[in-house]
Amino acid sequence: MPEEPDIELSFRGGRLVSALPIALFIAWAIFQSGILGIGDTTGLVAGMLTGLIVGLLFVRGDWKDYADVVFAGMTRRVAATAVVAWLWAGMFAETIQVGGFVDGLVWAATVLNVGPGLFPAVTFLLAALLATGIGTGYGTAIAFTSLVFPAGLLLGANPVLLFGAILSGAVFGDNLAPVSDTTIVSAVTQDADIGGVVASRVKYAVVAATLAIAAYLVAGFGIPGVWGGMPHVDVAGEVSASVSPWGLVHLLDIAVVIALAVRGRHIIEAVSWGLLLAAAFNVALGAANLVDVSVGSMLLFSAPQNGLTQAVEALPLLGAVVETVPAGQVGVGGSVYSGAAGFFPLIVLTLLLVAGAEVMRAGGGFDAIQELVIDRVATTVRRAETTMVVGTALVNATVTINTAAEIAIAPYVATLGKRFNINGYRRANILDANTSALGYIFPWGGGLLAGYGAMQGLVGGEATPWFTAEMLVNPASVFPYVFHGWFLVAVFLFAAWTGYGREYVSDRTSEEVSRV
Amino acid sequence: MSRLDKLLAGWTFRTATPTFEPGEVITAYVSERNGDGLTVRIGDSVIRVEDGRGAAVEDKVRLEVTSFDATNHVGTGEVVEVLGPDA
């Protein structure tokens, strides 16, 4: 658990005013992406900066305290964890992509006869499998949007539905994976063992996933994939018979990452091994002329033409990553560069958002909401459980990295649940399912933006030259199609009302937390 | 509890008002303190304890149920052991 800094803030207008920076940000996000249809993450960064500055004006007393709270929020470990996951997953996914993996998937889908109708349902299942294995829904959203999404488009699948299916798979894994950070937080904060928590949540996840698969099948065959006027109408169906299956060797480096993650290795270690292996495969595939890839696809310094740079370009080894170009095209490129760079705006946004949440904590905004809820709303066990579901949803709307949201709401779920002697497993399940789901449904949620960031990387990408900015799926249009997320929330509202899966402390005491 | 038991536990619709038999010993968190007494809510069922033996709200206690009215879901109990708050 993060350490709580001692600083308390006082706001003109009361404790709820501490929610102002985040409230302004949400209003900005709805205006920008929902109403105007602009999915620019850097625009959201401007929104959060504005929110933090406006919040400052309402602080009573020393403004330095507010600044200290902002710093305390930005240096939280959970923020660093998300940043690391995005950077490494971004580099890895992009490196596999330049290695022809998308072509390999298209080849496999063609051979196995997975048409555009079936593609979203299959994508959901595979994304769920990957996310459950590696425990990071964000990483899954990034990898699948970089790799499977373009393959689906080429086969003529509906892009919005496909993006929704990828996010659904990420929800499933975040919710169920034993190594997922949200699973671990939910177990630890509700005093329950991780194995027991995972075992007890299968009964909810399976119900929601079954409904989601059915929904993706119905929608996949019911909604036309690409129709006239959609920008990708020209590329769909353009799968040439000559696509190379060789990119599928990257399944091996993906397997290495999954195996290491499942065995409890740190994500930096697991993904770095995968990245090194992927790079080695790329060099070999390129050298054997099986895939159009080279060292320069992964890292390339495009230098201005002069005597020195031309000399460097001619060198052995080092010359492989240097080319000389006209002055206008100077820069650094390659999958390692662009895979990481795609996430810079999201990383900055995340740090600022965690700071905004910290301001809300220090200003008593979360406490004010808790008191209101416990004393007036949650008067019966049904209402208490429903409050946990809705409260978790609301906090996820404000704190958009779902792990951070979960840490913020966890003490309240514990207090509320213990008041009615709701079992630790049940509390952990309510907490984690709704955290996992909503983080990929709200258009400003970290998981959704992570996928969107990866999608922006496809525009003009080396492996996807046909992908144009017009083909981007607006984050605000995908939320109705995150079927597994919606069904998971619905299952829990149903469970709160009917008692499905409910267990009391007196029925079964959760075991000690054996592993953090 | 085996892994399979853990997987199969709770696939039921559990009532909001569980019932208890006199003499049954249960583990539960303290919901409220009223003077020396305690209120323990298990769902919407309530067990009142006269001598709380110093247990605080959110402390886990071992509790012997001394009476239970299944119609009104209200009962009485005695604290056997105060286990204290979660670590």
pLDDT above 50 for A2: no
- The dihedral built from the CA positions of residue A378, A381, A386 and A391, taken in this order, carries a sign that is positive
Q: What is the pLDDT of residue A407?
A: 78
pLDDT above 50 for A1: no
Chain A: closest CA distance from residue B81 (Å): 15
Whether residue B44 and residue A420 make contact (CB cut-off 8 A), yes or no, is yes
Q: What is the pLDDT of residue A515?
A: 35
Q: Are A181 and A131 in contact (CB under 8 A)?
A: no
pLDDT above 90 for A266: no
Question: Which of A194, A206, A379, A418 best probes binding to B when mutated, by most B CB atoms within 10 angstroms?
Answer: A418
**Local structure of residue A98 (DSSP, 8 states):** H
Q: Are A395 and A365 in contact (CB under 8 A)?
A: no
Q: What is the pLDDT of residue A36?
A: 79
Question: Dihedral through CA A129, CA A479, CA A100, CA A275, nearest 10?
Answer: -60
* Tokens 């009615």 found at: A420
pLDDT tens column, A449-489: 889 989 988 887 777 888 888 888 988 889 999 999 999 99
Q: Give the pLDDT mean for A80-85.
A: 78
Instruction: Report domain extents, chain A.
Output: 1-293+334-504, 300-332
State the Cα–Cα distance between residues A233 and A209, nearest whole angstrom: 31
Chain B: closest CA distance from residue A506 (Å): 5
Q: What is the pLDDT of residue A260?
A: 80
Q: What is the pLDDT of residue A302?
A: 93
Q: Give the pLDDT mean for A304-323.
A: 91
Q: Which helix (H) or strand (E) holds B76?
A: strand B74-84
Q: Are A1 and A188 in contact (CB under 8 A)?
A: yes
Paired tokens of A67: 């600044």
pLDDT tens column, A5-59: 568 899 999 999 999 998 898 888 878 876 776 767 788 899 999 999 999 999 9
A383 in reach of chain B (CB within 8 A): no
Which of A200, A420, A509 has the CB atom closest to B43's CB atom? A420
In DSSP notation, A19-86 reads: GHHHHHHHHHHIIIIIIS----HHHHHHHHHHHHHHHHHTEES-HHHHHHHHHHHHT-HHHHHHHHHH
pLDDT above 80 for A75: yes
Which of B11, B28, B86 has the CB atom closest to A191's CB atom? B86
Name the closest residue on chain A to residue B10, using Cα atoms: A501
Angle at A28 between CA A24 and CA A32, to 5 degrees: 175
Angle between helices A344-362 and A446-458 (to 10 degrees): 170
Q: Which residues of B touch A (CB under 8 A)?
A: 1, 3, 6-7, 9-16, 18, 20, 26-29, 31-32, 40-44, 58, 60, 86-87
pLDDT tens column, A182-226: 888 888 888 888 778 888 999 999 999 999 999 999 999 887 665
Count of Cβ atoms closer than 10 Å to residue A470 Cβ: 9
* Tokens 């305290």 found at: A65
Residues with pLDDT less than 50, chain B? none
State the Cα–Cα distance between residues B52 and B4, nearest whole angstrom: 37
Which of A195, A420, A499 has the CB atom closest to B14's CB atom? A499
Instruction: Report domain extents, chain B.
Output: 17-84
pLDDT tens column, A163-194: 999 999 999 999 988 767 788 888 888 888 87
Q: Give the pLDDT mean for A219-244.
A: 64
Lowest mean pLDDT of A18-32, A143-157, A187-201, A233-247, name the range: A233-247
Whether residue A415 and residue B87 make contact (CB cut-off 8 A), yes or no, is no
Which of B13, B27, B41 has the CB atom closest to A499's CB atom? B13
* Tokens 């100077």 found at: A330
Name the closest residue on chain A to residue B57, using Cα atoms: A419
Residues from chain A contacting residue B18 (CB–CB below 8 Å): 504, 506-507
Paired tokens of A46: 């401007």
pLDDT tens column, A365-404: 878 877 777 778 888 999 999 999 998 888 887 777 787 7
- The dihedral built from the CA positions of residue A127, A129, A134 and A136, taken in this order, carries a sign that is positive
Q: What is the pLDDT of residue A225?
A: 63
Q: Give the pLDDT mean for A84-113.
A: 82
Residues from chain B contacting residue A380 (CB–CB below 8 Å): 16, 44
CATH 3.30.1700.10 fits B17-84, yes or no: no
% chain A with pLDDT above 90 = 39
Whether residue A419 and residue B86 make contact (CB cut-off 8 A), yes or no, is no
pLDDT above 60 for A84: yes
Residues from chain B contacting residue A511 (CB–CB below 8 Å): 1
Lowest mean pLDDT of A28-42, A246-260, A284-298, A351-365, name the range: A28-42
**Local structure of residue B49 (DSSP, 8 states):** E
Dump strand ranges (E) for A271-330: 300-304, 322-325
Q: Are A44 and A29 in contact (CB under 8 A)?
A: yes
Q: Give the pLDDT mean for A265-289.
A: 90
The model's pTM is 0.80
Chain B: closest CA distance from residue A3 (Å): 16
Residues from chain B contacting residue A426 (CB–CB below 8 Å): 10
Which of B9, B11, B86 has the CB atom closest to A508's CB atom? B9
* Tokens 């329950």 found at: A192
In this prediction, residue A516 has a pLDDT band, given cuts at 50, 70 and 90, of very low
Name the closest residue on chain B to residue A505, using Cα atoms: B28
Q: Are A250 and A96 in contact (CB under 8 A)?
A: yes
Count of Cβ atoms closer than 10 Å to residue A57 Cβ: 11
Angle between helices A181-189 and A402-419 (to 10 degrees): 30
In this prediction, residue A343 has a pLDDT band, given cuts at 50, 70 and 90, of confident
A499 compared with A365, residue with greater pLDDT: A499
Please state the φ and ψ torsions of residue A445, each to the nearest 5 degrees.
-70, 145
Lowest mean pLDDT of A156-160, A354-358, A510-514, name the range: A510-514
State the Cα–Cα distance between residues B61 and B28, nearest whole angstrom: 6
pLDDT tens column, A394-438: 888 777 778 778 877 888 898 899 999 999 999 999 999 999 998
Q: Are B38 and B78 in contact (CB under 8 A)?
A: no
Whether residue B13 and residue A498 make contact (CB cut-off 8 A), yes or no, is yes
Q: Which chain A residues in 384-423 lie under 8 Å from chain B, judged by CB atoms?
A: 415, 418-422
Q: What is the pLDDT of residue A235?
A: 62
Whether residue B10 and residue A191 make contact (CB cut-off 8 A), yes or no, is no
State the Cα–Cα distance between residues A129 and A82, nearest whole angstrom: 21
Q: Are A248 and A104 in contact (CB under 8 A)?
A: yes
Q: What is the pLDDT of residue B67?
A: 96
Judged by DSSP in three states, A191 sits in coil
Paired tokens of B45: 């069922």
How many residue pairs from chains A and B have C-beta atoms closer than 8 A?
Answer: 88
